[in-house]
Amino acid sequence: MIVPSKDLPVVVIGAGPVGLAAAAHLADRGVDFVVLESGPSAAAAIEEWRHVRLFSPWRYGVDSAARRLLDEAGWTEPDPDMLPTGGDLIDQYLAPLVKTPQLADRIQYGAEVVAVTRAGFDRIRTAGRDDAPFLIRLADGEELTASAVVDAAGTWRKPNVLGGSGIPARGETDAADAVAHALPDVLGRDRARFAGRRTAVVGAGHSASTTLLDLGELAEQEPGTEIVWVVRGSSQERTYGGGEADELPARGALGERVKKLVQSGRVELVGGFRTEGITRTADGRVQLVAGEQAVVADTVVNSTGFRPDHGVVAELRLDLDPILGSTRALAPLIDPNKHSCGTVPPHGVDELAHPEQGYYAIGAKSYGRAPTFLLATGYEQARSVVAALAGDWEAARDVQLDLPETGVCSSSLAFPGEEATASSGCCGPAPQATAGNSAAEPARATSRGLATGIGGGLLTVLDPPKVTQSGCCS
Ligand SMILES: Cc1cc2nc3c(=O)[nH]c(=O)nc-3n(C[C@H](O)[C@H](O)[C@H](O)COP(=O)(O)OP(=O)(O)OC[C@H]3O[C@@H](n4cnc5c(N)ncnc54)[C@H](O)[C@@H]3O)c2cc1C
């Protein structure tokens, strides 16, 4: 007999910062829940980049309900102005959080969700669907039922391919052993792989910048360390972003440091390169090929961004944006083809809803392929979705978000040698993009921040905006 859905717990997929925020809000509201985490401990994805320093300070890294649970447990909050590393985020925030009595016995580790459906219903069947419980299958074959599913699985496990056309480059699968995941610990545990060797970093996002800077430091210590930076775009100025104009100074500084590194000659920059194939060379290296161009390296670091895994929930009725893979309602608010910054309008349960009632993707996964996700956004999503699941629709719809602005958000996309575009036009930020405390702030016409566009991250290469007859970006 199938238990009525309403008597079942909410299942949260993923014990990353946003899944745990959802868990904290569920605990706060007295809603029964279980968190399923594929890794051996909380924040298994961040564990892999624990050596990386975040660009946003602690004040944007702690969820409100999580803070309440931690405060009750006698937590000492880190200095809100300090920048944590991924490791700090785990050690000083998430690890204590999962030990609080409200969460401790609600999290299953080593529990990888491989499929989510409605018990007794495939995607086609409608009558009675909304009353049927969700059925969640784990990799070890265990099955659970749930009243609702909050999918906070992130995107870390599904990197984009190197192939410039969105499918693996020819030979990419065979060359997998020569390709490193984004953000290797170049100066720490992965040092031997890069010291005294030639590395090609592919991609133009924040991850690529971080790796380039680490490789630059390694090159100073280890003779023979060579770095080549492979990007799709060709506008170098755009690559470096906006420095001091960024309201997250750490993020702004990153672009400046990468620029200096390239100018020092330590990094060879190869622009306009869309990888088509990867081949082995006679001496055991790999060669990236794009038309007549070729780049040879010992190791390729894939810093091309991430994409969500919707395969796990393929039997659910999803309303996905055809470009980003976020919900259709969220897409225009975060579309990196239009928004070149991390600021987004407040959004919550309404923008995250799918036709499948009771299923919500939140956190990095909710943004699909858009590279602009910030923790503060995810925490507000978690608060809103959980309020809705608890039946408090007033709180669910009272969405608020106050994010730091990047300079590029509030400016024209004007760069040296280019004409400024009107910030109020469709090439500039959406009017709502400055929602929150900064709603009244006027656009700063000359400022620049780190772009977060289609190049794949928080530091990006964008082709110059094309101005059509109507004056809008194409
Ligand atoms: C290097 C780096 C730096 C960043 N810096 C910042 C910053 O400074 N400020 C900021 O606001 N944001 C930053 N971000 C963006 C974002 O906040 C992080 O990616 C954040 O970790 C996203 O949280 P999440 O909970 O959505 O996903 P994740 O942290 O990816 O957590 C997802 C969890 O789900 C688990 N999981 C995955 N699949 C399954 C499954 N099938 N079954 C069960 N469990 C599963 C994973 O093991 C993981 O623990 C950064 C991202 C990166 C990569």
Q: What 3 state SS string does 273-330 have?
A: CCCCEEEECCCCCEEEEECCEEEEECEEEECCCECCCCHHHCCCCCCECCCCCCECCC
| Ligand 1 centre distance from Cα of residue 48 (Å) | 10
Residue 104 lies in a domain: yes
- Lowest mean pLDDT, pick from 171-185, 312-326, 341-355, 441-455: 441-455
293 with 312, same domain: the answer is: no
376 with 388, same domain: the answer is: yes
Task: Give CA–CA dist 182/205, Å, rounded.
Answer: 10
Residue 148: name the closest of 13, 16, 28 by CA: 13
296 with 369, same domain: the answer is: no
Looking at the CA of residue 375, tell me the nearest atom of ligand 1. 11
Say yes or no: CB of residue 18 within 6 Å of ligand 1: yes
In testing the pocket of ligand 1, which one of 18, 52, 142, 385 has its CB within 8 Å of the most ligand atoms?
18
- Taken as a whole, the chain contains a residue count of 474
User: Can you give the pLDDT at residue 8?
Assistant: 97
Say yes or no: CB of residue 43 within 6 Å of ligand 1: yes
Say yes or no: CB of residue 461 within 6 Å of ligand 1: no
| Ligand 1 centre distance from Cα of residue 376 (Å) | 12
21 with 119, same domain: the answer is: yes
Q: Which residues of 388-407 are buried (b: 16+ CB within 10 A; e: fewer)?
A: bbbeeeebbeebebebbbbb
Tell me the pLDDT tens digit for each residue of 347-394.
999 999 999 999 999 999 999 999 888 899 999 999 999 999 999 999
Q: Which two tokens stand for residue 162?
A: 């190197």
Residue 237 binned pLDDT confidence (cut-offs 50, 70, 90): low
Residue 29 lies in a domain: yes
Residue 18 binned pLDDT confidence (cut-offs 50, 70, 90): very high
pLDDT, averaged across the chain? 83
Tell me the pLDDT tens digit for each residue of 29-88.
999 999 999 999 999 999 999 999 998 899 999 999 999 999 999 999 999 999 999 999
User: Can you give the pLDDT at residue 453?
Assistant: 34
Q: Which of 302, 328, 353 is the last residue of a domain?
A: 302
Residue 142 binned pLDDT confidence (cut-offs 50, 70, 90): very high
Structural domain of residue 63, as residue ranges?
A: 5-157+306-406
pLDDT higher than threshold 60 for residue 164: yes
285 with 365, same domain: the answer is: no
Residue 449: name the closest of 211, 307, 279, 248 by CA: 248
Q: How many domains does the chain have?
A: 2
121 with 16, same domain: the answer is: yes
Residue 280 lies in a domain: yes
In testing the pocket of ligand 1, which one of 156, 207, 403 has its CB within 8 Å of the most ligand atoms?
156
191 with 88, same domain: the answer is: no
317 with 399, same domain: the answer is: yes
R_g over Cα of the chain: 22
User: Can you give the pLDDT at residue 87?
Assistant: 98
Residue 210 lies in a domain: yes
Residue 352 lies in a domain: yes
232 with 318, same domain: the answer is: no
User: What is the three-class DSSP state of 352?
Assistant: helix
- DSSP letters for 24-60: HHHHHTT--EEEE-SSSSTTHHHHHTTTSBPSS-GGG
Residue 388 lies in a domain: yes
User: Can you give the pLDDT at residue 429?
Assistant: 30
pLDDT higher than threshold 60 for residue 2: no
More confident: 135 or 432: 135
| Ligand 1 centre distance from Cα of residue 375 (Å) | 9
Residue 449 lies in a domain: no
Q: Which of 302, 335, 353 is the last residue of a domain?
A: 302
Q: Which two tokens stand for residue 166?
A: 């969105």
345 with 294, same domain: the answer is: no
Residue 474 lies in a domain: no
Report which listed range, 57-66, 203-212, 442-451, is most confident: 57-66
39 with 139, same domain: the answer is: yes
Q: Which of 361, 384, 406 is the last residue of a domain?
A: 406
CATH (domain of 38): 3.50.50.60
227 with 340, same domain: the answer is: no
In testing the pocket of ligand 1, which one of 54, 107, 140, 185 has its CB within 8 Å of the most ligand atoms?
54
pLDDT higher than threshold 60 for residue 415: no
Task: Give CA–CA dist 320/311, Å, rounded.
Answer: 13
User: Can you give the pLDDT at residue 439?
Assistant: 29
